[in-house]
Structure 1
Amino acid sequence: MSSGKIVGGFAASHSPGITGWPDRAEAVKRRNVEAAYAQARDRIEALRPDAIIAVSVEHFTNFNLGNLPAFAVATGESYLGPVTAEMANFVNVPQHRYPGAADLGQHIYRFALESEFDPALVEGGLDFDENFCVPFKHLDPDSRYPLAPIIVNGVNPPWPSPRRCYDFGKMLARAVSDQEAYERVVIVGTGGLSHWVGLPESGNVNEEFDRDFLARLDDGDPTHLTAYTKDEIDAAGNGAHEIRTWLVAAGAVGVGFEILAYEAVPEWLTGTSVAAARM
């Protein structure tokens, strides 16, 4: 067998409204976002991945303020999502088990330690919320592809720096190349873009920030893409710190992204985008 390779990279928002209340958005915005998701789904299928490295935050479903790692790698054989029946109804995703690429997760964890990263290890019990359930309802509706989930802290300060997230992605690419069991791997980052969680500004969208970030993602220059300060991201909401998951995906592929859709959708409480790496 040949060594593994990341053959595709994608990034997408994961607002619960995308699947939970899609009809609240303006019809043209909904159509644009869902068409972009469908295009990304078709591209993933054409890539014939043996596994997907899925990178997201999680919203205190598994972790808490007493145990909140900067990065975490899961190594389960499968993952429950959404975590509760109430969450399943909220995001309109049937509760089920997602297949896991356990040995790929184990390899990534060991490789990360050897590469001077120190992620937390989650053996088995990582439950999914909207972080993975919302985007993968569109990207892999039948849950066919085994997942190696990665969690990045994008929900509570202090966060890993944008550059550290990008470099973590570069490490993931090397980890995939260092194994042979999964020859074709796709990476998907989910989160963001601008939004406020649990604050009076909830429902606002900072379209200027979103478009600037997407322009940098399109260009692909890592220096420009990772140059954000905390205050610059804060201006787009506490939820905007989830762009770290996109930075991990960008680091893993090392190229610019085609922006398949961007819509400011206050009804979904977020700036919403889908993007695909120009591999």
Structure 2
Amino acid sequence: MSKGKIVGAFATSHSPGISGWPERADEAARLAVLDAFAEVRRRIEALEPDAVIAVSVEHFTNFSLSNLPAFAIATGDRYLGPVTPEMAQFLDVSQRHHPGAAALGSHLYRAALDNEFDPALVEGGLEFDENFSVPLKYLDPEARLPLVPVIVNGVNPPWPTPKRCLDFGRMVRAAVESQSEAQRVVVLATGGLSHWVGLPESGDINVDFDKDFLDRLTDGDADRLTDYTAQEIDAAGNGAHEIRTWLVAAGAAGTGFDVLAYEPVPAWLTGTAVAAARL
């Protein structure tokens, strides 16, 4: 049997407003973003993946300040999202269970340890907030794709460095290529771009930061992608640290990305983007 391969890599924002109050955005911006989600869905369906490694942050739904790992890998058979009926109503996403790719998740965890990463292991019970629930509403509306959820700390300092996140993605690619159970694997990163959470600047968007980051992502040069200090990312908001998930996807893809949409949407409180790796 042939070894596994990453056949696609995508990155999207996950603002609750995308699904919860799309009508508040400018019509042209809303349509551009939703059309990009539809395009990613078409591409994923055409790739016919055996599993999706889904990389995001989480917003203290499963972890807390007393237990906040830099990285975590889940190995469950299924995942509930959104976590509560109230959150489902807030996000306008039907609560459902997503299937898990447990064997691939276990392999990825072992590979991480073998490669000097020490992620937290979540063997069951990981629940989704907007991190996965918002994009999957558009990319997997029938909850058919088997998932390996990966969590990166992008919500509270200290964070893993950008280079560490890119290297984690490279480890993901090597891990996929060293197993044969899931032969066709897609990586999906969600989060960002610029936004402020729970701060007076909420609703502001740092367009310059967003466009510069997307330029680096398009270029695909690892040095440029990881040449950020925490302070430089802070200039785009505490929520901008979620770009670490995109760096994991970039490391897994090993190539540049095409930007399918970028819209600064104050009504969604986020610089909103959708991108696809040139694989």
| TM-score tier (shorter) | over 0.9
Q: Which residue of 2 aligns with 1:275?
A: 275
Q: CA deviation at 1:6?
A: 0.4
Name the amino acid aligned to 1:275: A
Q: Partner of 1:177 in structure 2?
A: 177
Q: Compute the RMSD of aligned alpha carbons.
A: 0.4
Q: Per-residue deviation at 1:132?
A: 0.1
CA distance in 2, matches of 1:135, 1:243: 15
State, as a whole percentage, how many aligned pairs show the same letter. Answer: 70
Deviations 1:13-42 (A, max 9, x none): 000000000000000000000000001110
Partner residue in 1 for 2:252:
252
The corresponding residue for 1:266 is: 266
For 1:158, the aligned partner's letter is P
Tell me the CA shift for residue 231 of structure 1: 0.8
Deviation string 1:99-156 (CA, Å, 9 cap, x unpaired) is: 1001110000001000000000001110000000000111111111100000000000
AA paired with 2:277?
Answer: A
Cα distance in 1 for residues equivalent to 2:46 and 2:227: 34
Q: Secondary structure at the match of 1:134?
A: helix
Separation in structure 1 between the aligned mates of residue 77 and residue 120 of structure 2, nearest angstrom: 17
* CA distance in 2: counterparts of 1:250 and 1:37, whole angstroms: 18
In the alignment, structure 1 segments of 5+ residues that lack a partner are: none
Q: Determine the C-alpha separation between the residues in 2 that align with 1:274 and 1:139.
A: 12
Structure 1 runs, 4 residues or longer, greater than 2 Å off: none
Counterpart residue type for residue 262 of structure 2: Y
Confirm or deny: 8 A CA contact 2:96 2:143 kept in the other structure.
no
Q: Structure 1: how far apart are the matches of 2:11 and 2:192?
A: 10
Q: What's the secondary structure of 1:186's corresponding residue? A: strand
Alignment partners' CA distance in 2, 1:221 and 1:205:
25
Pairwise mapping of residues 11-90 of structure 1 onto structure 2 (< 5 A)? 11-90=11-90
Write the distance in 2 (CA, Å) between the matches of 1:65 and 1:141: 32
Structure 1 Cα separation of the partners of residues 142 and 203 of structure 2: 31
SS state at 1:264 partner:
strand
Distance 1:240 1:44 in 2: 26
Q: Give the gaps of 5 or more residues in structure 2.
A: none
Alignment of 1:1-279 (within 5 A): 1-279=1-279
The TM-score, its normalising length taken from structure 2, stands at 1.00
Q: SS in structure 1 opposite 2:208?
A: helix
